[in-house]
Amino acid sequence: MGESQVIRIMCPNLSCQRILAVPSHARGKLVRCRSCVTNIRIPMLRDPSLPRNLGPRGEPVVDAA
């Protein structure tokens, strides 16, 4: 996993939804979509030892359905 890796993320603006390619060192930072000027926070790398279905405090996430 080198510093030159690229993260692909979709712009959350529903009228844009462009695919952005940002460098991996942008994780945790705010970037701007060049198409619609929406600010997007690039997510940090998640800890692989934690299950995907845990919430921010470690408790299981329950569907409200």
Which residues of the chain fall below pLDDT 70? Answer: 1-4, 47, 50-65
6-10 and 30-32 as β-strands: parallel, antiparallel, unpaired? unpaired
pLDDT of residue 1: 46
Query: Residue 38 and residue 11: Cα distance in Å, rounded?
Result: 8
Asked if residues 50 and 28 have their Cβ atoms less than 8 Å apart, the reply is no
Structure tokens at 30: 């705010």
pLDDT of residue 15: 96
Asked if residues 23 and 8 have their Cβ atoms less than 8 Å apart, the reply is no
Within 8 A by CB and 6+ apart from 6, the residues are 21, 22, 23, 24
pLDDT of residue 54: 57
